Chains A and B, each alone.
Chain A
């Protein structure tokens, strides 16, 4: 079963937690608008150019590359299509040039290693949430270089974690 993005849990009797503060909705709306504008400006022309290729998650076509500066951080995203019909494609996402590991939920939403207990409708929003959580001056860890890091390569590839 997949839950549609943005779908609620109507009828399950879930309590609605107290609204934290006014302004949050405005902030989220502003974010959503920014995202829509960005998606329209960037994804649409690329999609038109690459229309014949297989679409990836979020409607992004194969080989899509885009980047934006968000709160002073450079977010880069490259979609790698799946190898073969049974494979899964991957977003390779970087923040300031360093890899940010993303995971996908069964409902199609995304979470990152930095913000790991909540998910977002798109990889870009997950990357922005990671930037929000990183805090000033903090950077993702640098990928291990050379043979010295080979012992942890499996984990690093999957998680982007300093070990």
Chain B
């Protein structure tokens, strides 16, 4: 039977405790750092050569869907009652609301060095030492809302702007497309300032600290954020019943995207699974 992913704000204290405990155990076993490493490895930019699976590509959504399922599998091997909760950042929008509470993810970083000093992932608790990182820092950092140069969370209307687009993605299937649900949700804009960050990307920027970098998986909010992004894909499918993942077929030889993106029935690296197979996961989990 399908399990349920819940709004983080509705978890009971006991559910929060079990989720956190499972995360800490996955970290203790060394499995968590493999997720950090894998996310870095698959972050390829579209202005360079080579294939892209995780970002700046149509498979942004199925790649992260499968990535979440892998983490959730690791958590459920520790405690089969645990699922990944989602953070609804259209509703929980302050630096002290869910999930920034002492019993879930802990709070904002302190002013001096952005170190997270509260909650179960604070370095001094001894369970969350960063091992795979772009800096030599071993403690988790956050800079919620980036007070030094403030950035807002995406609004409900910005999310709606993505959801109402009836087309999944369009050529050239990268970070420059201005139409299509995928990039409107992933959030690569043009120019500087406010239009440069949208939805998914903007949330990474709002959390700041580790969430801003390639090793963003180091902050467990990564999973709560991506569960909410994953929920948007489900909502978009329900709204546009006939719409499917695009492209349906791979770009032809001679197309600049030939061999660089994953079409509907192509294998999604590093897994042996296709975007088509990940379009409906209703038998595995559902959202409450």
Give the distance in Å from the alpha carbon of A114 to the alpha carbon of B190 in the complex. 20
Q: Is B136's beta carbon under 8 Å from chain A? A: yes
Would B113 and A136 count as touching, CB distance under 8 A? yes
Q: Is B114's beta carbon under 8 Å from chain A? A: yes
Q: Decide yes or no: A9 and B178 within 8 Å by CB, A88-B49, A113-B214, A138-B137 being known contacts.
A: yes
Q: Is B262's beta carbon under 8 Å from chain A? A: no
Q: Decide yes or no: A160 and B47 within 8 Å by CB, A118-B197, A138-B113 being known contacts.
A: no
CB distance from A4 to the nearest CB of B (A): 8
Would A140 and B136 count as touching, CB distance under 8 A? yes
CB distance from B233 to the nearest CB of A (A): 19
Q: Is A135's beta carbon under 8 Å from chain B? A: yes
Q: Decide yes or no: A12 and B178 within 8 Å by CB, A135-B113, A141-B134, A155-B41 being known contacts.
A: yes
Query: B146: nearest residue on chain A (CB-CB)?
Result: A20
Would A116 and B176 count as touching, CB distance under 8 A? no
Interface residue tally for chain B (C-beta within 8 Å) = 66
Max count, chain B CB within 10 A of own CB: residue among A137, A140, A161: A161
Would A139 and B47 count as touching, CB distance under 8 A? no
Would B195 and A1 count as touching, CB distance under 8 A? no
Would B135 and A114 count as touching, CB distance under 8 A? yes
Would B197 and A162 count as touching, CB distance under 8 A? no
Interface of B, secondary structure class, is loop
Max count, chain A CB within 10 A of own CB: residue among B157, B213, B215: B213
Query: A21: nearest residue on chain B (CB-CB)?
Result: B150
Which B residues are in CB contact (< 8 Å) with A101? 134, 214
Q: Decide yes or no: A114 and B152 within 8 Å by CB, A12-B178, A104-B45 being known contacts.
A: no
Would B150 and A114 count as touching, CB distance under 8 A? no
Interface residues on A, range: 35 or more
From the candidates A108, A138, A140, name the one contacting B47 in the complex (CB within 8 A): A108
Which A residues are in CB contact (< 8 Å) with B72? none
From the candidates A9, A24, A88, A160, name the one contacting B134 in the complex (CB within 8 A): A160
Would B196 and A163 count as touching, CB distance under 8 A? no
Within 8 A of A (CB), among B101-123: 112-114
Q: Is A13's beta carbon under 8 Å from chain B? A: yes
Would A115 and B113 count as touching, CB distance under 8 A? no
From the candidates B46, B47, B179, name the one contacting A12 in the complex (CB within 8 A): B179
Query: A136: nearest residue on chain B (CB-CB)?
Result: B113
Would A107 and B190 count as touching, CB distance under 8 A? yes
Which B residues are in CB contact (< 8 Å) with A19? 194
Would A161 and B132 count as touching, CB distance under 8 A? yes
Query: A110: nearest residue on chain B (CB-CB)?
Result: B47
Would A163 and B132 count as touching, CB distance under 8 A? yes
Would A13 and B161 count as touching, CB distance under 8 A? yes
Would B136 and A135 count as touching, CB distance under 8 A? no
Give the distance in Å from the alpha carbon of A121 to the alpha carbon of B44 in the complex. 18
Would B46 and A118 count as touching, CB distance under 8 A? no
Would B155 and A104 count as touching, CB distance under 8 A? no
Which B residues are in CB contact (< 8 Å) with A120? 192
CB distance from B108 to the nearest CB of A (A): 13
Give the distance in Å from the alpha carbon of A105 to the alpha carbon of B141 in the complex. 26
Query: B159: nearest residue on chain A (CB-CB)?
Result: A15
Which B residues are in CB contact (< 8 Å) with A15? 155, 157-158, 161
Give the distance in Å from the alpha carbon of A113 to the alpha carbon of B135 in the complex. 10
CB distance from B7 to the nearest CB of A (A): 23
Give the distance in Å from the alpha carbon of A91 to the alpha carbon of B132 in the complex. 24
Would A17 and B194 count as touching, CB distance under 8 A? yes
Would B47 and A103 count as touching, CB distance under 8 A? yes
6 contacting pairs across A/B (C-beta < 8 A): A8-B195, A15-B157, A15-B161, A103-B45, A106-B46, A155-B40
List of 3 A-B pairs having minimum Cβ-Cβ separation, nearest first: A104-B47, A103-B45, A20-B150
A3-B190, A140-B135, A159-B41 given; name 16 further pairs at CB < 8 Å.
Answer: A1-B171, A3-B178, A7-B191, A9-B190, A18-B155, A20-B194, A25-B193, A27-B149, A88-B49, A103-B48, A106-B56, A106-B175, A136-B113, A137-B113, A139-B136, A159-B214
Residues in chain A within 8 A of chain B (CB atoms): 1-3, 5-9, 12-21, 24-25, 27-28, 88, 101, 103-109, 111, 113-121, 132-142, 155, 159-163
